[in-house]
């Protein structure tokens, strides 16, 4: 039991932010009952590169850059002693993706973690963060993009079946900086991610892409929040999910907040869900709050549907059997997002994982 | 030598208001190497005939039979009909997002041939088929039918016809939406496939102009869900002159 647990208000499940989440499956991350060792499992898997450093920094030297009202993130801020810090120096063009990874084994993998990714001014990099194995992980990843920089941030949740993962991926995007995230959630018992963005200077842009595939009993939740607080920033959100099997549950929340100061904002968010069987449930809630009319555009769309019979008929009429036709359609559905991960090995691994999920679902 | 036999075919669609009968006893026999034109006014049931033979789930067979070389087609799944040698070139080909033409064609060829075609010869085959239909090589990297113009969709259908080599092809209003040049290119593709594989063709059309390029051996006039008149190519000339007026309302 954490000594600090009483400092936080434990969610009851009635709060807007928690109403979709099965609290009893969070392994105690939300109420402080989880036993957390001071583990630091995140490692850099790429070879050392000029301009890139990966260090552990005492929390006194690297305080959080942002506030979160999420109790798990607050716990991480309060309890984690050392922050894993990936730093890209200013003015660097890092052409090879930087791989970070956690590979947990067994129940000893309970962990609260803080991660900081800093991208110096005018630098360009790709970071791939891979999560696999079995763990209970509460995690805050803060990503700071200095002016004129760009970062592609790929996060892969390929957890094994019992894992519980609650995390925030919070990007602070500076003037004229460009952030792109590709978030993939295909494994775990309960995964609850908060991909959030705040713009720190005009001309900033963010593109949040994601896919998820939940099968029987899995709960995958993605709560996007984009805060437009500066003029002339642009955001795009596109998440696609598939669900199959009893009690497969996905939640997608897309909150976009356009403050009075955010004139010239251009934002669009999209969520599409493919229901592959009965007994699965996709919640999809886009929200747009606008405090100024002086914007370029703001829109959202959300669809949830089943296989398109016409697509399956077309493929089958060319001799392709039903299972194979479904596989093609589902792969195609995700291809638009997976294509943004410019790593063929990861792409192929994810596609075959998707094939496996389909097989599990009995297609 | 193959024969597609349609006997007394009756087809309905189920609507909220109950079943609506569309085909009311169709008899047709198409053999290898023969080209049959089915002509008729809009709403006469021509497309329903095409989709029913291909096995579209929207249509319910209420009577009659369809056999290919004596084997019951109606008992087959949609993909099994294609494997048996039937092909439907669709009037409105369906978009498949995220699936490239090259991936689609290779998957279909693998399914129909029972093994994956050898990559080297396959690439050549596809290239040749695309060249013959005056299609840009970049076409194969595009997603199936996504953002295709009307003409591109029809070329893509006929390219499949050439690559997949069916015994009997049903062409549903392949001429619609084509300009004169595209009509000629697409028609030549059909004629090539026919010559190469001794293919039987069931050509469904509203207009006679495609018959200048694809010569029918038989012409069947379709109205109110059945064949109302049959003849040789000269019947098409009569339709060109007089239209469908005398058949409608029967």
A310 contacts in B (CB within 8 Å)?
94
When CB atoms are compared, the residue of B57, B97, B143 closest to A313 is: B57
State residue A248's pLDDT score: 96
pTM value is 0.91
- What's the angle, vertex CA A99, arms to CA A95 and CA A105, rounded to 5? 170
With a cut of 60, say whether residue A5 has pLDDT above it.
no
Instruction: List CB contacts of A328: < 8 A, sequence separation 6 or more.
Output: A315, A320, B96, B99, B103, B104, B107
State residue A35's pLDDT score: 79
**Cα gap A319→B223, rounded to integer Å:** 31
B81 contacts in A (CB within 8 Å)?
317
Q: Domains of chain A: which residue ranges? A: 3-308
Q: Is B94 on the interface with A (CB under 8 A)?
A: yes
Digit-coded pLDDT (tens) for B178-207: 999 999 999 999 999 999 999 999 999 988
Nearest to B4 by CA among B63, B48, B53, B52: B53
State residue A105's pLDDT score: 57
With a cut of 60, say whether residue A6 has pLDDT above it.
no
Instruction: List CB contacts of B140: < 8 A, sequence separation 6 or more.
Output: B100, B101, B102, B105, B126, B130
Digit-coded pLDDT (tens) for A109-120: 789 999 999 999
**Cα gap A75→A81, rounded to integer Å:** 11
Work out the average pLDDT over B127-142.
93
Digit-coded pLDDT (tens) for A120-136: 999 999 999 999 999 99
Nearest to A114 by CA among A63, A54, A184: A63
Work out the average pLDDT over A288-296.
96
A336 contacts in B (CB within 8 Å)?
97-98
Contact state of B108 with A320 under an 8 Å Cβ cutoff: yes
When CB atoms are compared, the residue of A315, A317, A336 closest to B98 is: A336
With a cut of 50, say whether residue A285 has pLDDT above it.
yes
Work out the average pLDDT over A57-85.
95
Strands (E), A218-310: 219-228, 234-243, 249-258, 266-275, 281-290, 297-305
Question: Strand B218-223 and strand B35-39: pairing?
Answer: parallel
With a cut of 80, say whether residue B134 has pLDDT above it.
yes
B99 contacts in A (CB within 8 Å)?
328-329, 331-332, 335
CB atoms within 10 A of CB A51: 15
Q: Give the minimum alpha-carbon distance from B195 to chain A in angstroms, rounded to a whole number.
A: 21
**Cα gap B84→B40, rounded to integer Å:** 28
Question: In chain B, count of helices (H) and strands (E)?
Answer: 7, 10
**Cα gap A325→A54, rounded to integer Å:** 45
Digit-coded pLDDT (tens) for A311-352: 999 999 999 999 999 999 999 999 999 999 989 999 999 999
């Amino acid at each position: 039991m954490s000594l600090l647990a009483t400092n936080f208000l434990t969610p009851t499940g009635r709060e807007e932010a928690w109403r979709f989440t099965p609290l009893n499956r969070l392994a105690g991350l939300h109420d402080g009952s989880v036993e957390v060792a001071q583990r630091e499992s995140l490692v850099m898997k790429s070879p050392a590169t000029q301009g890139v450093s990966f260090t552990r920094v005492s929390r006194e030297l690297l305080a959080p850059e942002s506030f979160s009202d999420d109790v798990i993130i607050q716990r991480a801020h309060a309890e984690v002693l050392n922050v894993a810090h990936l730093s890209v120096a200013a003015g660097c063009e890092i052409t090879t993706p930087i791989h970070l990874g956690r590979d947990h084994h067994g129940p000893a993998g309970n962990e609260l973690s803080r991660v900081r990714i800093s991208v110096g001014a005018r630098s360009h990099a790709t970071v791939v963060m891979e999560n696999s194995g079995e763990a209970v992980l509460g995690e805050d990843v803060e990503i700071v993009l200095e002016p004129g920089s760009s970062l592609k941030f790929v996060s892969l949740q390929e957890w094994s079946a019992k894992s519980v993962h609650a995390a925030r991926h919070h990007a602070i995007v500076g003037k004229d900086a460009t952030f792109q995230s590709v978030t993939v959630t295909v494994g775990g018992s309960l995964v609850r991610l908060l991909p959030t963005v705040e713009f720190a200077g005009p001309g900033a842009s963010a593109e949040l892409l994601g896919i998820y595939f939940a099968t029987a009993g899995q709960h995958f939740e993605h709560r996007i929040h984009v805060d437009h607080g500066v003029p002339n920033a642009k955001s795009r959100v596109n998440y696609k999910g598939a669900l199959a099997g009893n009690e497969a549950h996905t939640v997608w929340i897309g909150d976009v907040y356009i403050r009075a100061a955010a004139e010239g904002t251009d934002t669009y968010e999209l969520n599409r869900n493919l229901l592959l069987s009965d007994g699965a449930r996709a919640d999809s809630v886009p929200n747009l709050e606008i405090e100024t009319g002086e914007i370029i555009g703001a829109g959202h769309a959300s669809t949830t549907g089943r296989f398109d019979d016409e697509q399956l008929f077309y493929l089958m009429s060319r001799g392709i059997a039903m299972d194979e036709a479904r596989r093609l359609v589902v792969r195609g559905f995700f291809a638009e997002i997976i294509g943004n991960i410019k790593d063929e090995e990861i792409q192929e691994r994810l596609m075959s994982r998707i094939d496996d999920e389909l097989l599990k679902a009995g297609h | 030598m193959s024969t597609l036999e349609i006997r007394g075919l009756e087809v309905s669609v189920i609507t909220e208001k109950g079943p609506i009968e569309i085909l009311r006893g169709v008899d047709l026999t198409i053999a290898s190497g023969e080209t049959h034109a089915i002509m008729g006014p809009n709403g006469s049931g021509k497309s329903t005939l095409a989709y029913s033979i291909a096995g579209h789930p929207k249509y319910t067979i209420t009577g009659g039979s369809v056999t290919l070389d004596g084997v019951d087609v109606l008992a087959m799944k949609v993909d099994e009909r294609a494997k048996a040698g039937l092909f439907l070139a669709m009037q409105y080909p369906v978009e498949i997002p995220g699936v490239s033409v090259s991936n689609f064609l290779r998957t279909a060829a693998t399914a129909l041939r029972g093994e994956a075609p050898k990559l080297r010869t396959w690439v050549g085959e596809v290239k040749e088929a695309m060249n013959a239909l005056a299609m840009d090589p970049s076409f194969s990297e595009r997603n199936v039918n996504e953002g295709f113009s009307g003409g591109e969709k029809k070329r893509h259908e006929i390219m499949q016809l050439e690559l997949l080599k069916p015994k009997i092809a049903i062409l549903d209003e392949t001429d619609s939406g084509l300009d004169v040049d595209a009509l000629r290119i697409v028609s030549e593709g059909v004629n090539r496939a026919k010559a190469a594989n001794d293919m039987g063709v069931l050509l469904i059309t509203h207009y006679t102009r495609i018959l200048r390029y694809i010569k029918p051996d038989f012409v069947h006039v379709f109205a109110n869900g059945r064949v109302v008149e049959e003849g040789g190519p000269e019947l098409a000339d009569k339709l060109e002159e007089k239209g469908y007026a005398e058949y409608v309302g029967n």
